[in-house]
Homo-oligomer: A and B are copies of this chain.
Amino acid sequence: MTFEDNLSNIVAQLNENYTQSGLFFSRNDLERPNRDVIIKLLSDFKRLMFPGYFGSEHPNQTTAPFFVGSLLTSIHERLQHQIELALTYQAGGRTEGIRARAEEVCTELLAELPRIQKLIMIDVEAAFDGDPAAQSREQIIFSYPGLVAIFSHRISHELYIRGVPYIPRIMSEYVHSRTGIDINSGATIGEFFFIDHGTGVVIGETTEIGDCVKIYQGVTLGALSTRDGQKLAGIKRHPTIKNNVTIYSNVSILGGQTVIGEHSTIGGNAFITESIAPYSRVSVKNPELCVVQPGTAGFE
Interface residues of A in 242-256 (CB under 8 A from B): 244, 246, 248-250, 252, 254-255
Query: Do A300 and B224 contact each other (CB < 8 Å), given the known contacts A110-B3, A135-B165?
Result: yes
- With a cutoff of 8 Å between Cβ atoms, the chain B residues found around residue A12 in the complex are 65
- With a cutoff of 8 Å between Cβ atoms, the chain B residues found around residue A19 in the complex are 61
Are A52 and B70 in contact, CB atoms less than 8 angstroms apart?
Answer: no
Closest B residue, CB atoms, query A90 = B136
Are B218 and A200 in contact, CB atoms less than 8 angstroms apart?
Answer: yes
Query: Do A287 and B283 contact each other (CB < 8 Å), given the known contacts A229-B131, A269-B250?
Result: yes
Q: Mark A56-76, 1 if CB is under 8 A from B, else 0.
A: 111111111111111111101
Copies assembled: 6
Closest B residue, CB atoms, query A179 = B177
Are B229 and A130 in contact, CB atoms less than 8 angstroms apart?
Answer: yes
Contact of A117 among B8, B14, B169, B225 (CB under 8 A): B14
Q: Mark A206-241, 1 if CB is under 8 A from B, else 0.
A: 000000001011101011111111111111010000
- With a cutoff of 8 Å between Cβ atoms, the chain B residues found around residue A17 in the complex are 114, 117-118, 121
Are A285 and B288 in contact, CB atoms less than 8 angstroms apart?
Answer: yes
Say if the beta carbon of A202 comes within 8 Å of chain B.
Answer: yes
Closest B residue, CB atoms, query A22 = B137
Most B CB contacts (10 A, CB to CB) among A50, A114, A186 go to A114
Query: Do A246 and B225 contact each other (CB < 8 Å), given the known contacts A25-B60, A32-B52?
Result: yes
- With a cutoff of 8 Å between Cβ atoms, the chain B residues found around residue A8 in the complex are 69
- With a cutoff of 8 Å between Cβ atoms, the chain B residues found around residue A267 in the complex are 271, 287, 299
Cα of A203 to Cα of B132 in the assembled complex, Å: 14
Query: Do A25 and B69 contact each other (CB < 8 Å), given the known contacts A132-B235, A133-B233, A220-B217?
Result: no
Q: Give min CB distance, A261 to chain B, whole Å.
A: 9
- List, sorted by A's number, 12 A–B pairs whose CB atoms are closer than 8 Å: A7-B69, A65-B66, A130-B226, A142-B166, A176-B199, A199-B200, A270-B287, A272-B287, A279-B291, A281-B291, A282-B289, A284-B288
